């Protein structure tokens, strides 16, 4: 079985977008035209409702074994998404050169395919990567490239962490100072927060609303949903620097706050006022216009309550609402947006701190401080995405020793990630059904550019992708030697894609950063 210049592409109803992707990506890599047409030499794409009934919209069947009449290759999916994942498998079978942007081999090359049939479907419907573009801004083209990398690994959720203390990255038309002021900081901590070193170059950037539309459309063409995160009520100093009335101005001089230049948990949180609620409703109105995703992430993590304890206005609010304490005030804040989003047909998701003070009725939880928050939420009937920092925080170092470019957090090797289990043993079957899936998180305090992000994310994202997609044995029984053997082929694909991954033998001299102030303390809290 082989593809060549005479291979037509026969795209059935509903697969036009997949055909467009195939022609642009595989066409570019191979130089083949994939002209429209059918017949026995064609690659045929079809949606098959039978597959959807049996294994869902993302299930697919790929046949190259010659058993299909009138087509050389048949890719059938439960929906277009399944056809798209089937085409990703087809690309894997074509070899590493199929991941390039132009033909690297001899002119007139024939693209051999092994003869086989693959029947496949994902274990989880939420297979995500969270990227923090606040701590370090990632230019739009690099975000689009990340989406290509997610698609190549059959991941389907891009959790876009757009706002934090260190930078506001999304244009909001009705509040222009969010990006005029909030998207730039004067300097940046180099290394973890206790490091004495600074990078004195101003850092910033943001996405215009047209950039966001482009990113969302690019993701949709790859069957990836983009979940925006606008962090409230903590992690908000960039917004307060732009609009000081959003902060607790009765206890701190919020007008003197700048976009934060260091790392850690920040005491400057939003005031629980009507002004703040109306302001963020305006922000979310624009966000909903841009992002069709059902889920909208409101952060909710790491909101210190000290300012609310000292603020007469916050205390008056607690009394007026009849709340017991500051935790309930945070819960009230989250509930407000839970209702507000539900009224608009969306669903709120937040970090597991939103459990404190009582979980809003429709809320889903990203369980990051371990499994416990996710377990409690799932047992209470809430949907959960498992992303425990002990396992899938890809900013954490990949090996012990001083060679890692920025040795922060837990040591989590490729093998550790391969042995990560998103559904903890002991969860009741009803609760387990509330685990929507899993995601890896990438916080970028110590990743100042794309190459640094590549190094932290790869190859571990390949192990994560297999965990998120496949039904694997229990962690101790997983065949890591087999995974490593298959990785030898995958490293060639990553090379073709130009991914600056961590080599199995450790960082190359170019990737090392001798003498950087990392924090090599196993078991330490996560905030760099
Ligand atoms: C988090 O890592 N603060 C969600």
**Beta pairing class for 203-204 and 225-232:** unpaired
Same domain, 103 and 134: no
pLDDT band at residue 59, thresholds of 50, 70 and 90? very high
Asked if residue 164 has its Cβ within 6 Å of ligand 1, the reply is no
User: Hey, whose CA ends up nearest to atom 3 of ligand 1?
Assistant: 301
* Residue 339 CA: distances (Å) to CA of 200, 266, 334: 43, 27, 9
pLDDT given at position 195: 85
Residue 518 domain-assigned (yes or no): no
| Ligand 1 close to Cβ of residue 302 (< 6 A) | yes
- Quick check: is 98 in a domain? yes
Model confidence at 523, in pLDDT bands (50, 70, 90)? low
Q: What is the pLDDT of residue 244?
A: 98
Q: Over the stretch 159-205, which tens digit does the pLDDT of each residue have?
A: 999 999 999 999 999 999 999 999 999 999 998 888 889 999 999 99
| Percentage of the chain exceeding pLDDT 90 | 89
Judge if the beta carbon of residue 126 lies within 6 A of ligand 1: no
The verdict on whether 164 is a catalytic residue reads yes
Q: DSSP label at 167?
A: E
How high is the pLDDT of residue 409?
86
368 in contact with ligand 1, CB cutoff 6 A: yes
Instruction: Tell me if 271 is assigned to some domain.
Output: yes
Does residue 444 share a domain with residue 355? Answer: yes
Does 516 reside within a domain? no
Is the pTM higher than 0.85?
A: yes
Domain containing 56 — which CATH number?
A: 3.30.379.10
What does the alpha-carbon distance between residue 407 and residue 374 come to, in Å, rounded to a whole number? Answer: 28
Q: What does the radius of gyration of the chain's CA atoms come to, in whole angstroms? A: 24
**Residue 488 within a domain:** no
Q: Would 30 be classed as within a structural domain? A: yes
Which of 444, 472, 500 is the C-terminal boundary of a domain?
Answer: 472
168 lines ligand 1 (CB under 6 A): no
Do 142 and 36 lie in one domain? The reply is no
pLDDT band for position 527 (cuts 50, 70, 90): low
Q: Which atom of ligand 1 is nearest to the CA of 441?
A: 2
pLDDT of 250 higher than 80:
yes
Q: What is the CA angle 276-184-209, rounded to 5?
A: 65
Determine the average pLDDT of the residues in 523-527.
53
* 108 and 136 together in one domain: no
User: Of 63, 85, 120, which residue is a domain's last?
Assistant: 120
3-state secondary structure 465-515: HHHHHCCCCCHHHCCHHHHHHHHHHHHHHHHHHCCCCCCCCCCCCCCCCCC
Number of domains in the chain: 2
Q: How far is the CA of 301 from the centre of ligand 1 (A)?
A: 6
Other CB atoms within 10 Å distance of the CB of residue 168: 32
User: Is residue 124 in contact with ligand 1, taking CB distance under 6 Å?
Assistant: no
Question: Domain boundary at 472, 499, 519, which?
Answer: 472
Sign of CA dihedral 403, 138, 187, 395: negative
Q: Ligand 1 pocket check: which of 443, 525, 528 to mutate, most ligand atoms within 8 Å of Cβ? A: 443
Same domain, 47 and 186: no
Regarding whether 73 and 6 lie in a shared domain, the answer is yes
Range of the domain at 86: 2-120
Smallest CA-to-CA distance from 19 within 10, 7, 28 is with 10
* CA of 393, closest atom in ligand 1: 2
Active site residue 434: no
Pocket flag, ligand 1, residue 393 (CB < 6 Å):
no
Q: Residues 207, 101: one domain?
A: no
The pLDDT of residue 368 is: 97
Could you tell me if 146 and 54 lie in one domain?
no
Ligand 1 pocket mutation pick from 232, 351, 355, 387 by most atoms within 8 angstroms of CB: 351
pLDDT of residue 522: 53
User: Does 526 score more than 70 pLDDT?
Assistant: no
The confidence band for 435, taking pLDDT boundaries of 50, 70 and 90, is very high
Tell how far the Cα of 442 is from the centroid of ligand 1, in angstroms.
10
| Catalytic option among 153, 159, 203, 235 | 235
pLDDT in tens, 117-150: 999 999 999 999 999 999 999 999 999 999 999 9
> 325 with 398, same domain?
yes
Each residue of 439-469: pLDDT tens digit? 999 999 999 999 999 999 999 999 999 999 9
Give the nearest ligand 1 atom to 235 CA.
3
Average pLDDT over the chain, rounded to an integer: 95
Span 269-294, average pLDDT: 98
The pLDDT assigned to 136 comes to 98
Which whole number is the average pLDDT over 327-336?
A: 95
Q: Residue 302 CA: which ligand 1 atom is closest?
A: 3
User: Does the active-site annotation cover 165?
Assistant: no
Whether 161 and 56 share a structural domain: no
Same structural domain for residues 42 and 167?
A: no
Q: Looking at the structure, do residues 206 and 136 belong to the same domain, yes or no?
A: yes
In a domain, 520, yes or no: no
- Token output for 213: 């539309």
With a 6 A CB cut-off, is 351 part of the ligand 1 pocket?
Answer: yes
Ligand 1 atom 2 nearest Cα: 368
DSSP 246: G
Per-residue model confidence as pLDDT tens digits over 369-406? 999 999 999 999 999 999 999 999 999 999 987 789 88
Report the Cα–Cα distance between both ends of the chain, in Å, rounded: 52
**Cβ of 527 less than 6 Å from ligand 1:** no
Residue 463 has what pLDDT?
A: 98
Q: Would you say 460 and 428 are in contact if contact means Cβ atoms under 8 Å apart?
A: no
**Does residue 485 fall inside a structural domain?**
no
Distances from the Cα of 528 to the Cα of 155, 199, 280, angstroms:
27, 16, 28
Q: What is the pLDDT, as a whole number, of residue 105? A: 80
Run of H or E residues at 375:
helix 372-379
pLDDT digits (tens, 9 = 90+) for 462-518: 999 999 999 999 999 999 999 999 999 999 999 999 999 999 999 999 999 877 777
- Helix, strand counts (H, E) of the chain: 18, 21
Please report, for the domain that includes residue 205, its CATH number. Answer: 3.20.20.80
Q: How far is the CA of 159 from the centre of ligand 1 (A)?
A: 13
């Amino acid at each position: 079985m082989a593809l060549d210049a005479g291979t037509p592409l026969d795209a059935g109803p509903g697969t036009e977008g997949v055909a467009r992707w195939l022609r642009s990506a595989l066409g570019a890599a191979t130089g083949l035209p994939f002209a429209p047409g059918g017949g026995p030499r064609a690659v045929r794409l079809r949606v098959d409702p039978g597959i959807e009934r049996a294994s869902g919209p993302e299930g697919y069947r790929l046949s190259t074994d010659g058993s299909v009449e009138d087509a050389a290759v048949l890719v059938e999916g439960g929906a277009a998404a399944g056809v798209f994942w089937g085409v990703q498998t087809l690309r894997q079978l074509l070899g590493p050169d199929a991941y390039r942007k132009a033909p690297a081999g001899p002119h007139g090359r024939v693209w051999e395919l092994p003869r086989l049939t693959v029947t496949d479907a994902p274990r989880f419907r939420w297979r995500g990567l969270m990227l923090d573009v606040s701590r370090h801004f990632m230019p739009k083209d690099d975000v689009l490239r990340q989406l290509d990398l997610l698609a190549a690994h059959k991941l389907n959720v891009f959790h876009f962490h757009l706002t934090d203390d260190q930078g506001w990255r999304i244009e909001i038309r009705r509040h222009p100072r969010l990006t005029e002021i909030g998207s730039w900081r004067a300097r940046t901590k180099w290394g973890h927060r206790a490091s004495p070193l600074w990078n004195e170059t101003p850092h910033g950037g943001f996405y215009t609303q047209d950039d966001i539309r482009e990113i969302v459309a690019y993701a949709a063409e790859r069957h990836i949903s983009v979940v925006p995160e606008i962090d409230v009520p903590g992690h908000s100093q960039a917004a307060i620097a732009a609009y000081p009335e959003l902060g607790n101005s009765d206890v701190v001089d919020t007008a003197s706050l700048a976009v934060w230049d260091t790392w850690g948990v920040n005491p400057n949180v939003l005031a629980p006022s009507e002004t703040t609620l109306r302001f963020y409703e305006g922000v979310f109105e624009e966000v909903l216009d841009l992002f069709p995703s059902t889920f909208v992430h409101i952060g909710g993590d790491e909101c210190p309550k000290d300012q609310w304890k000292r603020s007469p206005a916050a205390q008056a609010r607690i009394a007026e609402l009849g709340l017991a304490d500051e935790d309930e005030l945070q819960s009230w804040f989250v509930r407000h947006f839970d209702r507000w989003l539900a009224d608009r047909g969306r669903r709120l998701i937040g970090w597991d701190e939103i459990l404190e003070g009582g979980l809003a009725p429709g809320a889903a939880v990203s369980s990051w401080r371990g499994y416990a928050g996710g377990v409690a939420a799932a047992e209470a009937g809430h949907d959960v995405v498992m992303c425990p920092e002990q396992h899938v925080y890809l900013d954490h170092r990949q090996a012990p020793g001083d060679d890692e470019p920025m040795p922060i957090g837990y040591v989590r090797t490729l093998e550790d990630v391969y042995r990560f289990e998103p559904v903890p043993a002991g969860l009741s079957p009803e609760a387990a059904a509330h685990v929507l899936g899993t995601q890896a998180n990438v916080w970028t305090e110590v990743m100042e550019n794309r190459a640094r992000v590549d190094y932290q994310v790869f190859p571990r994202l390949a192990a994560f992708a297999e965990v998120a997609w496949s039904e694997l044995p229990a962690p101790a029984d997983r065949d890591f030697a087999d995974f490593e053997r298959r990785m030898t082929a995958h490293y060639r694909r990553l090379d073709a894609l130009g991914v600056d991954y961590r080599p199995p033998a450790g960082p190359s001299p170019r990737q090392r950063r001798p003498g950087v102030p990392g924090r090599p303390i196993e078991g330490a809290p996560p905030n760099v």
